[in-house]
Amino acid sequence: MPVARRTLLGVGLAAATSALAGCGDNGAPAPGSADPSDAVTSTDAAGNRVGFGSRGNTTPPSGSPSATASPSGGAAPAGQARYAQDVTALLRKHLPATPQTVQHKGFPGAVAVVLVDGKTTVHTAVGEALRYGAGPKLLAAGQRVAMRPDSIFDLASVTKVYTAILLLQQVDKGRVDLTAPVRDYLPAFTGAGKDRITVEMLLTHTSGLPVGAKVTGLPDNAARWNAVLGTGLVSGAVPGDTFRYSSVGLMVAGKIVEKVTGQRLDQALKSNLTGPLGLRDTGFNPSTWLSSSAKASRLVATDARSSRGLLRGTVHDDVANHLGGVAGHAGIFATATDLAAIGQMLLNGGTHQGRRILAAATVRRMLTNLNAGKPAVDPERPNRTAAHGLGVVLNQSWFMGRLASTRTFGHTGFAGPSLLVDPHRKLVLALLTNRAHPNWSWANPDPVRAAVGDLLAKEVN
């Protein structure tokens, strides 16, 4: 991925070239070969995860068949679709070629979950969650950590989907009006032309706000948030006219959630979304809620070059880190299973496992292209369109592949995660990679995302 967006997000950092840390495990075998570090899982009729493979550390329920990874061919793992091994094989092609290979061209590891009509058809883990130490340096085999089906990833900008959901819940409650000026809720949201920015514009990326905010060199978090709220418009921008991807817009959206709920964003996430859905492996600042053993075995590393050292359990995004790891644009960590549940909830029209999270009408508006006919300005992806709902990306083949359609929605994250939902196929894909480990400039994650989309478009009708 080009440097521009990352550079802008890190404006004001002491080291412009600093990046974020990564994780590794036992050495990765040659692409296409079976390895004990791979694991494939499925879900039985009772909703139990089964067949974690040799490194899953989970015993299948009594009477449930176990599954073993078979990425190079043969029968599909028990309880999974026949294409599960094809997804695994595709992901393995992008791992480092040998245990000693230093520079990967894709990612050290990945986890993918595919749901079709609410049922798990693929749950696979390949490669390593921790492979490199600070420097970066390739770790010895005994110091690495295998990727697991329940590994916990930095979701980076996929956090924006969660923030949008939390804000839309407040719309459902009548506490927020999408057409109202942001300044009605946040008086400190000052600056020339910003009185015209509505709440909806924050979620559709049409506010005219820039990608990043300068928050370094300030005395405390209150000062840093005042700097975010005081961030000016992009030169020449007219609110509402043009799609410009803006992390600042979702930072501000998160502050509206805090203002109307009276809770910090991480608390609002737990109270209003992860708690009701039972998503115990999702949250900000995972080091505060994971056990010591889980930190060691389940956290996935990102950059290993930054001035902060190896990043594992610490948010990769520079601005979010300066804001204490809790912000509307980045900072949530989760498993692929938990992320897929968010996609399924939206696919179900706002409900999941009997719990209503959003009104059906609100979800319909969330998944509608509200930017039709507007130009898009994105130097990193000059071919992208403005198609966007409320906090979700729509119909973008650059990461959706052949699953892209006017109804397909999702989001990507800089560190390597992505969520894709295809309503036509009733399909949810949570694809989490650690491509930023140890150096985000080594690989562009979009071709892999699109390739998995192409494979599923062929296999799922």
d(CA 132, CA 139): 5
Q: Beta-strand (E) ranges in 171-291?
A: 243-244, 283-284
d(CA 83, CA 238): 47
pLDDT at res. 457: 98
Cα–Cα distances in Å, from 16 out to 54, 134, 307, 439? 42, 17, 10, 14
- Ramachandran quadrant class, 74 (left: phi over 0; alpha: psi -120 to 50; beta: rest): left
Q: Is 189 exposed, middle or buried (0-12, 13-18, 19+ CB in 10 A)?
A: buried
> What sign does the dihedral 393-115-451-460 (CA atoms) show?
negative
pLDDT at res. 67: 32
Q: Comparing C-alpha atoms, which of 252, 161, 260, 265 is closest to residue 202?
A: 252
Amino acid (1-letter code) at residue 82: R
pTM of the predicted protein model:
0.86
pLDDT at res. 76: 60
> What sign does the dihedral 159-163-169-172 (CA atoms) show?
negative
Alpha carbons within 13 angstroms on the beta-carbon side of residue 106 total 22
Amino acid (1-letter code) at residue 17: T
Spatial contact of 419 and 81, defined as CB atoms under 8 Å apart: no
pLDDT at res. 312: 98
Backbone angles phi, psi at 168, to 5 degrees: -70, -30
pLDDT at res. 257: 98
- Both structure tokens of 352: 């999941």
Q: Give the contacts of 354 (CB within 8 A, at least 6 positions apart).
A: none
Helices 247-261 and 159-172: angle between axes, nearest 10 degrees: 40
DSSP bridge partners of 128: 146
pLDDT at res. 75: 55
Residue/partner pairs of 137-143 with CB below 8 Å, 24 or more apart? 137/304, 138/24, 138/100, 138/102, 139/24, 141/26, 141/27, 141/99, 143/24
pLDDT at res. 57: 32
d(CA 228, CA 215): 7
pLDDT at res. 142: 97
Per-residue pLDDT of the chain (461 residues; tens, 9 = 90+): 343 444 344 433 333 333 323 332 223 333 223 333 344 433 332 233 333 232 333 322 222 222 333 333 345 677 899 999 999 999 999 999 999 999 999 999 999 999 999 999 999 999 999 999 999 999 999 999 999 999 999 999 999 999 999 999 999 999 999 999 999 999 999 999 999 999 999 999 999 999 999 999 999 999 999 999 999 999 999 999 999 999 999 999 999 999 999 999 999 999 999 999 999 999 999 999 999 999 999 999 999 997 889 999 999 999 999 999 999 999 999 999 999 999 999 999 999 999 999 999 999 999 999 999 999 999 888 889 999 999 999 999 999 999 999 999 999 999 999 999 999 999 999 999 999 999 999 999 999 999 999 999 999 99
Alpha helix positions (H), 220-291: 221-229, 247-261, 265-269, 275-277
Q: Mind spelling out the 3-state secondary structure of 74-142?
A: CCCCCCCCCCHHHHHHHHHCCCCCCCCCCCCCCCCEEEEEEEECCEEEEEEEEEEEECEECCCEECCHH
Relative to beta strand 39-40, strand 417-422 is unpaired
Relative to beta strand 376-377, strand 243-244 is parallel
pLDDT at res. 331: 98
Which three-class secondary structure state does DSSP give residue 40? strand
